[in-house]
Chains A and B, each alone.
Chain A
């Protein structure tokens, strides 16, 4: 039984990301603001990849991305690619940083988010017949960044991981 709970605890990041992906709009955009406001999935991905890199595998990110693409009718493979690139970028930035403080973390999150959204736009331009609204993406990046400290605080309250 103890083993079972240990396993559940180990897979909590996956479960959280999966629930957020399945309820992305319902949890955030319906209850907090009436629109595609923030990218909670990237906040979770960034947090867990930064603090608990061993818990998030590339294969699980690939499948989580496929689930999101399927639910949102975006080109299949787009979000998987973004998740994998984001995780690798987070590991890279974590290696390269000289100090572990909030400032560096926030800047890293901004770089990752901007890189992922640019990658998304490139994929949309090449692999999709519909074009996204650029202003929405810009608003999404700004508000996700602005709300990152709040969600980081909440996540740290529940998951006190050490770097």
Chain B
């Protein structure tokens, strides 16, 4: 005690105390803080949740700024290679043909949609709740051994909630897994923890789609009698009551092993790392 008092009384002593703290006490103190943060987060302590939300917002937007040079380099490289594409005239012709074909298909679909609505009205079947799409920008994508997600620019300030589906051009990408005030995290369908109820309408089969943690997904709880074919379309079934039904997920790819037993893999309807803008589907109330 006397030694401490003596140490405090001089500048050299203060320096020695500071050094002792740095060398001996700092690490245990920081480890203690880590455990405290982990415990408080685990018991859903509200102030910690708010603090985490605030910290997440600041860090997410800061990471966006840090990423700017990297993104700029990646975009410039991509643009340069696109500029070097000498088949652009040919591609333009093909795309024009595809657009015309899609317009005619869209008109046909509109006809079937109206017919479907009329039949539902006649049979007295109620539609699922109406959904509103909110366009958001993707700040950054995160891939690690613990999960695959991306951050978006809207959060609880725009009434985003956990579990809401995120789509692009009506293709299911994932669901909201974390909501902060000004940003949110979306768990991609390929995340190892992602599980969504799906339906394969052409075969009348329901199953669960589970991400494999890399860049694909697999079908779980598929009925043993199910006999799927190549290019069978997969849609969300909406049986969980949160994700809208009928969102396109991907198509089935069938491979046969040595014993001619069918193995199914999924060709998802989107490519990761190419997402700029996506839409969040909010249930209208």
What is the interface residue range for chain A against chain B?
35 or more
In the complex, B93 has a CB within 8 A of chain A: no
Report the bound CA distance from A85 to B141 in whole Å: 27
In the complex, A6 has a CB within 8 A of chain B: no
B31-73 residues at the A interface, CB under 8 angstroms:
31, 33-39, 41-42, 48, 52, 55-56, 59-60, 62-63, 66-67, 70-71
Residues of A within 8 A of B192 (CB): 132-133, 136
Point out which of B27, B140, B143, B145 has the most chain A C-beta atoms below 10 A from its C-beta.
B145
In the complex, A93 has a CB within 8 A of chain B: no
Q: How far is the CB of B215 from chain A (nearest CB, A)?
A: 4
In the complex, B240 has a CB within 8 A of chain A: no
B66's closest neighbor in chain A, by CB?
A22
Residues of B within 8 A of A70 (CB): 52, 55-56, 59-60
What is the interface residue range for chain B against chain A?
35 or more
Q: Is the CB of A76 within 8 A of B38?
A: yes
A130's closest neighbor in chain B, by CB?
B193
Q: Is the CB of A75 within 8 A of B213?
A: no
Q: Is the CB of B193 within 8 A of A140?
A: no
Q: Is the CB of A22 within 8 A of B63?
A: yes
Given that A34-B272, A78-B38 are known contacts, is A25 also in contact with B67, CB under 8 Å in the complex? no
Given that A36-B213, A127-B39 are known contacts, is A77 also in contact with B33, CB under 8 Å in the complex? yes
In the complex, B185 has a CB within 8 A of chain A: yes
In the complex, B284 has a CB within 8 A of chain A: no
Residues of A within 8 A of B273 (CB): 26, 30
In the complex, A149 has a CB within 8 A of chain B: no
In the complex, A56 has a CB within 8 A of chain B: no
- The one of B145, B148, B272 that contacts A140, using a Cβ cutoff of 8 Å: B145
A58-113 residues at the B interface, CB under 8 angstroms:
58-59, 62, 65-67, 70-78, 80-81, 84-85, 88
Report the bound CA distance from A148 to B25 in whole Å: 32
Point out which of B34, B142, B273 has the most chain A C-beta atoms below 10 A from its C-beta.
B34
In the complex, B259 has a CB within 8 A of chain A: no
Given that A34-B215, A70-B55, A76-B41 are known contacts, is A81 also in contact with B31, CB under 8 Å in the complex? yes
Q: Is the CB of A71 within 8 A of B63?
A: yes
Q: Is the CB of B144 within 8 A of A24?
A: yes
Q: Is the CB of B146 within 8 A of A124?
A: yes
Report the bound CA distance from A124 to B145 in whole Å: 12
Given that A26-B140, A123-B38 are known contacts, is A35 also in contact with B215, CB under 8 Å in the complex? yes
5 contacts between A and B (CB under 8 A): A26-B71, A71-B140, A72-B147, A81-B31, A127-B42
Interface residues of B (CB under 8 A from A): 26-27, 30-31, 33-39, 41-42, 48, 52, 55-56, 59-60, 62-63, 66-67, 70-71, 74, 140-149, 151, 177-178, 185, 192-193, 213-215, 272-273
Identify 16 new A-B residue pairs, CB closer than 8 A, beyond the known A71-B142, A80-B37, A128-B42. A19-B70, A23-B67, A24-B143, A25-B141, A25-B142, A26-B141, A34-B215, A39-B145, A67-B59, A71-B63, A74-B144, A76-B52, A77-B38, A81-B35, A84-B30, A132-B192
Pick the 6 closest A-B CB pairs, nearest first. Answer: A25-B143, A77-B37, A35-B214, A77-B34, A133-B192, A81-B34
